[in-house]
């Protein structure tokens, strides 16, 4: 296809046959930069066609809520079975998956509905730097595919949601932990959301010519299904942009020479991270001072 915006099924997006050449995505850049080129090669559908990712077979309220929140009722199929054990239920479940829908039992659908209700209410009332945006999913478009080319390198992104004026982009995340922004910082770094922020902004600018505000909407998967909205600061953004540039450089080099290095074959000496040292020093000082956090240790000594 030509560079542009397309509405295609997720399976086709993953297959990566939209572009003339294998394309770069957030997950591939993350593997190139945070792991190693061999991992990026192994997980790329065009470079390694034989590789297939394991599909989730168990109920995942986060995945169901994601599709329902963005796609509405057409994204799911609800069944009145008590469970999926019987053959008839299993066949119905597979038929729903074949149609690209998430099969849900009635009680699962109730939980998903409640979670998505909270998501819509939170989206409509959240503020960006003191200003109420009053956003609704219907104010934009969900899961569009952007593809573009830069100096012979092809890219693809799939924003969860973008406003009709292409000025606000939203990525909906669910978590089994806390959605509190301070607690979510480690997940941002670990999952490469800084890379996603940089690459998605880059793609929208390449196609639409706009500089969209990009927010992460994070929701907990357990009641009361609390939400938070997160915007990366300039340090995070700059780091993400640097990672994208580095990923592009590694990608081009590996494609050119046909070699995708794994981890170093040399013996490596590692050192603790600053936060690990600080945590241990704090714990050590408390233990030496006989503080409250020594309760379990003191009990063990008494038992002995």
Instruction: Look up the CATH number of the domain holding residue 142.
Output: 3.90.320.10
Shared-domain flag, residues 168 and 240: yes
Beta bridge partners of 172: 217
112 inside domain: no
Shared-domain flag, residues 201 and 130: yes
- Report pLDDT digits (tens) over 184-206: 988 898 899 999 999 999 999 99
Quote the pLDDT of residue 130: 79
Shared-domain flag, residues 247 and 295: no
Q: Is the pLDDT of residue 164 over 60?
A: yes
Report how far residue 128's alpha carbon sits from residue 188's, in angstroms, rounded to the nearest whole number.
Answer: 19
Q: Is the pLDDT of residue 135 over 50?
A: yes
Quote the pLDDT of residue 128: 79
Residue 162 and residue 168 in contact, taking contact as beta carbons nearer than 8 Å:
yes
Shared-domain flag, residues 248 and 133: yes
Q: Is the pLDDT of residue 138 over 60?
A: yes
Shared-domain flag, residues 195 and 297: no
195 inside domain: yes
Shared-domain flag, residues 283 and 215: no
Q: Over pLDDT 90: what percentage of the chain?
A: 59
- Report pLDDT digits (tens) over 93-109: 889 888 888 899 999 99
Q: For residue 175, which phi and psi values (nearest 5 degrees)?
A: -145, 140
* Total domains present in the chain: 2
pTM value? 0.85
81 inside domain: no
Report how far residue 286's alpha carbon sits from residue 111's, in angstroms, rounded to the nearest whole number.
Answer: 43
Q: Is the pLDDT of residue 273 over 90?
A: no
Residue 197's domain comprises 4-54+126-257
pLDDT-derived band at 275 (thresholds 50, 70, 90) equals confident
Shared-domain flag, residues 142 and 208: yes
114 inside domain: no
Shared-domain flag, residues 247 and 175: yes
Quote the pLDDT of residue 44: 95
Beta bridge partners of 161: 142, 170
Q: Cis bond leading into 224, ω under 30°?
A: yes
User: To the nearest whole number, what is the mean pLDDT of the chain?
Assistant: 89
Shared-domain flag, residues 214 and 286: no
97 inside domain: no
Distances (CA, A) of 32 to 27, 225, 248: 9, 34, 9
230 inside domain: yes
Where on the phi/psi map is residue 105: left (φ > 0), alpha (ψ -120 to 50), or beta? beta
Distances (CA, A) of 140 to 192, 238, 244: 25, 27, 27
Shared-domain flag, residues 148 and 8: yes
The rounded Cα 289 to chain-centroid distance in angstroms is 43
Report how far residue 83's alpha carbon sits from residue 130's, in angstroms, rounded to the nearest whole number.
Answer: 46
Residue 26 and residue 33 in contact, taking contact as beta carbons nearer than 8 Å:
no
Report how far residue 252's alpha carbon sits from residue 235's, in angstroms, rounded to the nearest whole number.
Answer: 26
Helix (H) or strand (E) holding 254: helix 234-257
Quote the pLDDT of residue 292: 54
Report how far residue 242's alpha carbon sits from residue 249's, in angstroms, rounded to the nearest whole number.
Answer: 11
140 inside domain: yes
Tokens encoding 231: 């915007």
199 inside domain: yes
Shared-domain flag, residues 34 and 146: yes
Q: Is the pLDDT of residue 50 over 70?
A: yes
Shared-domain flag, residues 44 and 164: yes
If one compares 62 and 31, the residue with the highest pLDDT of the two is: 31
């Amino acid at each position: 296809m030509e560079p542009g915006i397309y509405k295609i099924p997720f399976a086709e997006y993953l297959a990566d046959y939209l572009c003339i050449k294998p394309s770069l995505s957030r997950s591939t850049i993350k593997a190139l930069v945070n792991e190693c080129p061999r991992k990026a090669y192994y997980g790329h559908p065009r470079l390694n066609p034989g590789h297939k990712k394991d599909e989730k077979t168990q109920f995942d309220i986060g995945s169901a809520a994601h599709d329902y929140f963005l796609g509405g009722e057409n994204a799911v199929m609800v069944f009145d079975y008590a469970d999926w054990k019987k053959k008839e239920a299993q066949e119905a479940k597979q038929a729903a998956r074949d149609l690209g829908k998430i099969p849900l039992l009635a009680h699962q659908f109730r939980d998903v509905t409640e979670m998505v209700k909270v998501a819509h209410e939170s989206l409509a009332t959240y503020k960006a730097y003191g200003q109420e945006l009053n956003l609704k999913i219907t104010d934009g478009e969900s899961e569009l595919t952007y593809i573009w080319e830069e100096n012979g390198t092809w890219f693809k992104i799939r924003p969860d949601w973008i406003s009709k004026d292409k000025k606000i982009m939203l990525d909906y995340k669910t978590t089994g932990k806390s959605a509190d922004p301070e607690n979510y910082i480690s997940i941002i770094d670990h999952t490469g959301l800084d890379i996603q922020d940089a690459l998605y902004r880059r793609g929208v600018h390449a196609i639409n010519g706009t500089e969209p505000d990009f927010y992460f909407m994070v929701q907990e998967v357990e009641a009361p299904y609390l939400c938070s909205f997160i915007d990366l600061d300039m340090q995070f953004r700059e780091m993400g942009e640097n990672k994208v540039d580095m990923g592009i450089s590694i990608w081009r080099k590996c494609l050119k020479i046909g070699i995708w290095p794994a981890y170093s074959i040399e013996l490596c000496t590692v050192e603790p991270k600053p936060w690990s040292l600080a945590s241990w020093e704090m714990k050590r000082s408390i233990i030496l001072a006989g503080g409250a956090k020594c309760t379990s240790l003191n009990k063990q000594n008494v038992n002995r």
